[in-house]
Structure 1
Amino acid sequence: MSVRTAWRADPYADALRTGQGPLFLRRDDGWLLPLEVERWCEAPDRADRSVLDRCRGAVLDVGCGPGRLVAALAAEGRRALGVDISPEAVARTLGLGGSALCRSVFDPLPGEGRWDTALLIDGNIGIGGDPVALLRRLRRVVSRSGRVIAECAPADVDERCEVRVDDGRGGRGERFPWARVGVPALTAHAAAAGWTVSERWSLWGRHFVTLARQSSSAPR
C-alpha cells in the first residue's frame, strides 16, 4: 500500500472526523508514537502561534492535517494553502475556512518556486521517511528567499522506520515509511539538502527550527 493510501485508512480518517484519539504510529516491534489528534483539531496554542508569527508572505503547510494553522492564517487575511493526502484532513481544513488540496508534496503544486514559507509541523519532517529528499523537494517549492519552519522530535533521534496508523483498539492501516529527527539530526540533513538553520526555539516542550537557503549552494 502506498503512503497516501495508508494515511487514508479508517483509523486516521475516523480520528480526524471525530477530533479524538487515541491514535498512534506503530512499528512492527510494538513501539508506539502517540499522535496528538485533539491538539491538531483545536485552535492554535502558544507554540503554534510562535510558528505563525514567524511565517512570511505566502505560506504552504505541508501535511496540514485538520487545518488549524492554515485556517488561522486565512482568518488574518494571509495567503495560505494546506496540502495533505487525507481527504478527511482536507475537508476539515476547508470547513474551517482554510484552503487545501488533497495532494502529496512530491506531486506538482501550485505556485512552485514562489512560496515564501513552507511548514513541516507536527512531525511532518518525517513525510516519506527521508528528510533530505523532502527538504530538497522544498528547495524547488519555496522562493529563492523563502524559508522552511520545521518541528523536530524532542529527543536527539535520527530514525527511519516503517509504521502503521493504529487506533489502539485493533484498527490499523498499512505500513509506510516515516522518519523522526531531533534538532542535531535535522541540522545535518538540512545542510545536505542545501539549507542552514537560521533560528531554533522551544516552547511548551515542542522544538522548532527555521531553515534558510544556503547562499552558496545551487539547487539540487
Structure 2
Amino acid sequence: MNWLRSFLPEQVPTTYAERLRASVGAFLGIAVTGILSTAWYGHSSAAPLLIAPMGASAVLLFGVPASLLAQPWSILGGNLVAALVGVTAAREIGSPLAAAAAAVAGAFAVMSLLRCIHPPSGAVALTAVLGGTHVTAAGYSFVLLPVLVNSAVLVVAALAYNNLTRRSYPHRPHAPIHPHPPISRLRLTSEDIEDALTDYGEALDISRDDLHKLFHELLGRAQRRAIAELFEP
C-alpha cells in the first residue's frame, strides 16, 4: 500500500477560493483566445481556431502562475520553438512516428538551451507532425497561425487576470501575507542554494529566490515557536 501511495502527489496547500480563481481564469483565457483567434482567421474552417495544447497552457498560466514553466517567455518561446521544430521534422522525416519522436525530443532540447521549457509545447511539436492534413499543409505558417497568435493572446489574458486578482505574473519572489522574519540572522548565499539543488539531483519547479524567501520564512516561524516554548508553563 505504501508503494501505491507513492504514486499520489502531495496535496497542494491551496484554498477553494484559489481553485475557483484559477478555474475562472482558465475559462476566460481560453474564451478570449478563441474569440480573438476566430476574429483573426475570419471564421475559416480550414484552420483550427484553437490548438489543444492551449488547454494545458491555461492550466499552468492560471493554476500555478508562480511556476517556472508558466512564465511568459516559457509559453511564448517554448511554443514557438516547438512549432518550428515540429514543422521541420514533419517536412524532413518521412516516417510520421520517427518525426513525432524527433519533434518532441528536439523541441525539449532547444527549449532547455533557451530557458523556455513549457510542457504543453511538447504537444505543440506533436501537433505539428500528427495534427492532420490541414496542419501539415500549412507548413511554417502553422508557427504564426495559430501557435503564436494563440500563445500571445493567452499570455496577455494571464497577465491581466492574474494581476487583477493579485497574483504576481510574471512571477516575482515576495514575502508571505503574514511574514515571520527570522529573529537571529542566518546568512544563506545563492551558492549555498545552488550547491544544495545540485546535490539533490533532480529538477525542482521553483526559483532560487523563492527558495530563499521560503527558507527565511520557515526559519522565522521555527525561532518564534522555540522562544514561545521556552516560556510555556
- Structure with bigger gyration radius: 2
TM-score of the alignment, normalized to the shorter chain, above 0.5: no
- TM-score (normalizing by structure 2): 0.25
